[in-house]
Amino acid sequence: MAGPRAVLAGCGIAVPPLQVDNHMISRIVETSDDWIRERSGIVTRHYVEAGVSSADLGAQAARAALADGGVEPEEVDYVVCATMTPDHYFPGSGTLVQQRLGLDPVPALDLRQQCAGFAYGLQTVDALIRSGIARTVLLVGSDVHTSLMPFSDRTWEVLYDESAGPLEEADFQWNSRFRHLVVLFGDAAGAMVFRAAEGEGGRGILGARLYGDGNHSEILHVPGGGSRRRPFVSAEMIAEAETVPVMDGRSVFKLAVTRMPAVTQEVLEAHGYGLDDLDLLVMHQANLRINEAAQRAMGLPAEKVFNNIQKYGNTTSATLPLCFFEARQQGLAPAGSLVAFTALGAGLHWGSVLMRV
């Protein structure tokens, strides 16, 4: 595709200060530190305080990305925001992030590809800049999963204060129905800002391969809270926990460990590269066991794959920028590195984006 490339100028993250370890989780659901580590690799995750939204976190990450890239807020002429936990049913989060940053009125676009949202956002940024529609684009991925956890005030009290326990048995059994949600997910945001450039030294987003297939929509979804039901939210839905994500973990695992390696190789080959040319693979952080299996399938050495799910859990649309930010901090993605950003999430959506950073 002709035209300027979308070159990464800056990257930033926002991680809530409240760190929740597996032992704390075991106070409110039936699980243990060993059980969680063995099945997911997760040790800790971070939760926002009540009242902090995904747009709040997203704006924090965006400010950090702008500062990292030396980009003034008034230079941003397009905002793309990926989230599965928006502040409201509507309006979308893009304008809320724009407002919190104090930007002039600019186009603000929301994406709803869940765990693949940031990958879809990278291709969107690439298209906006290559087409000449925008020159400086801010991409934000932010999610607050604690907003989906249907817990009582008493549960939160016991979670944060060991001396407040033990939790009443009825609450404990209710919470344990949602063990998959509590164990796996955390709150965080990540952002990247891109400038239009001629791709000096080959830098920039090189291309993407993205896919969607609704035939797998039932393996990861929220049953209630949409237009299929009337009203779209009801007391009955809440009582039956139909506003909480439902997941067929076994099916997700099988699809992820085959499709993520395949699409990564596909985007590399489309641009004349092979796996040996890749400097760093950043995969969506859903489960460490998934990523280890995908790494083995591709035959990549450990030094070319970076994971941080151990510290943050699954932060859906924030995982890719959060992972890249820390990899870069550790010197794993110096300027000129060839990096693939690969993800799979509900929808089913999956894909890989190739970038020379």
* Residues recognised as catalytic: 115, 284, 314
State how far the alpha carbon of 50 is from the alpha carbons of 62, 145, 157, 189, 315, in Å. 21, 12, 12, 16, 17
Which tokens go with 219?
């393996």
**Of 195, 97, 138, 196, residue with least CA distance to 12:** 138
Query: How many Å apart are CA 115 and CA 20, to the nearest integer?
Result: 21
Query: How many Å apart are CA 71 and CA 8, to the nearest integer?
Result: 11
State how far the alpha carbon of 107 is from the alpha carbons of 78, 93, 117, 136, in Å. 5, 12, 18, 12
Segment holding 207, helix H or strand E: strand 204-212
Q: Are strands 44-47 and 18-21 parallel, antiparallel or unpaired?
A: antiparallel
Are 92 and 81 within 8 A, CB to CB? yes
Q: Are strands 349-356 and 246-247 parallel, antiparallel or unpaired?
A: unpaired
Query: How many Å apart are CA 25 and CA 261, to the nearest integer?
Result: 32
Which tokens go with 118?
């940031």
* Residue 200 DSSP symbol: G
Locate tokens 């945001």: which residue?
189
Query: How many Å apart are CA 337 and CA 18, to the nearest integer?
Result: 33
**Of 297, 281, 298, residue with least CA distance to 332:** 281
Q: What are phi and psi of 23, to 5 degrees?
A: -65, -35
Are 225 and 243 within 8 A, CB to CB? yes
Query: How many Å apart are CA 335 and CA 203, to the nearest integer?
Result: 9
